[in-house]
Amino acid sequence: MGNCDHSCDPATQSSDAAESDHACEGTHHHGLTSAGKLNSVSDARLLWSVLLNQFLTVAQVIAGLLSGSVALLSDAAHNFSDANSLLIAYIARRIARREANQRYTFGYRRAELIGATINLTLLGVVGCYLIYEALHRFFDPQPIIGWLMAVAAGIALAVDLGTALLLWAMSKGSLNVRAAFIHNLVDAAGSVAVLIGAAAVIYLDWLWVDPLLTLLIAAYILLQVARMLPEAARILMEGAPANFPFDEMIAAVRSIDGVIGIHHVHLWELDETHRALEAHVVMEPSRFEDMETIKHGIKTYLSDEHNIRHSTLEFEFANTSDCHGSDAEVIHIACP
């Protein structure tokens, strides 16, 4: 798994590959050393993001109470949700880096996906709440102090953009952090909307602008949830990668010289970057001596063409009289 070559897979390596396994293990730990520095930087960014958003929440609550702006209080609730989601993202990243053990043999990689699912669920709740709040304000507009609303929105915009900047680089490789990053982009858009609403209140006395912009922001929030939540759920449900050419992979394996068929194929994702596969491969009985070569060819194809670096293959032979089961279509390789 990871960046080690498939020859280091303990599920498939032969007993005489101890030196190769040791070499792979050494490379793995060296990679963790260099990656650890990057992870510590990422953790620091997440912690700063949490602190910034908690500060913003307190500031918006105070400004909302003083100005009488329900929009600011609503945005404060949104930012409080964001601060919690960033805290969840931080905790999930810490858990995900734990080493595999006998209890969790695949490690803790999916902790980040659990965090992403929680974040996206909270984001969906916030989106629905914003729709409710916007509709309510259409029919029951509240007087607000425009200048105080504008100042609070300006501070919120600066904090949201600062947080998004901290998370931008991290969001490319993690669905969990990407969900938090989207949170802050939505916050920034919300702050712009509040600024526009404040200007409309101050100069034009257009109270309807604020709920209209809120509806647009809420629609964007729910669109992002609809796009990202199914992806997280699919991985947690151990589904195959999205748009994966499954039939093409099966046909390619069958076309390898010496292979008759492949069945009991299970393909899933451990997280966004690690794929795993297990399958039964049916071989021609006369190709027993070539089994290691065929196995290597299959694993190389899976790794190079489909980025499947963790594969467990069980080999079987078709209609052979060498084992006590000559009438069976397929005989397991392990015959006494």
Instruction: Considering only residues 40 and 175, tell me which one the structure prediction assigns the higher pLDDT.
Output: 175
Distance, CA of 5 to CA of 129 (rounded, Å): 48
CATH superfamily ID and name for 246-332: Cation efflux protein, cytoplasmic domain (3.30.70.1350)
Q: Which one has a higher pLDDT value, 323 or 137?
A: 137
CB atoms near residue 209 (< 10 Å):
16
Give me the mean pLDDT over the 303-328 stretch.
72
pLDDT of residue 36: 41
Average pLDDT (302-310) is 92
> pTM (2 decimals)?
0.62
d(CA 97, CA 32): 10
Which residue ranges make up each domain of the chain?
6-236, 246-332
Q: What is the pLDDT of residues 254-294, one digit of tens each?
A: 999 889 999 999 999 887 778 999 999 999 888 888 999 99
Reduce the secondary structure of the chain to three states and give it as a string.
CCCCCHHHCCCCCCCCCHHHHHHHHHHHHHHHHHHHHHHHHHHHHHHHHHHHHHHHHHHHHHHHHHHCCHHHHHHHHHHHHHHHHHHHHHHHHHHHCCCCCCCCCCCCCCHHHHHHHHHHHHHHHHHHHHHHHHHHHHHCCCCCCHHHHHHHHHHHHHHHHHHHHHHHCHHHCCHHHHHHHHHHHHHHHHHHHHHHHHHHHHHHCCCCHHHHHHHHHHHHHHHHHHHHHHHHHHHHCCCCCCCCCHHHHHHHHHCCCCEEEEEEEEEEECCCCCEEEEEEEEECHHHHHHHHHHHHHHHHHHHHHHCCCEEEEEEEEECCCCCCCCCCCEEECCCC
Q: Does domain 6-236 have CATH number 1.10.1740.10?
A: no
In tens, the pLDDT along 137-167 reads 788 776 777 888 888 888 888 888 887 777 7
What pLDDT shows up at residue 302? Answer: 94
Rounded CA-CA distance 131/55 in Å is 25
CA distance 53 to 78: 10
Q: What is the per-residue pLDDT for 24?
A: 38
Q: What is the pLDDT of residue 280?
A: 94
Higher pLDDT, 123 or 35: 123
Percentage of the chain surpassing pLDDT 90? Answer: 16
The larger pLDDT score, comparing residue 214 to residue 240, is at 240
Decide: residue 52, CB within 10 A, 0-12 exposed, 13-18 middle, 19+ buried: buried
Q: 191 and 132 in contact (C-beta within 8 Å)?
A: no
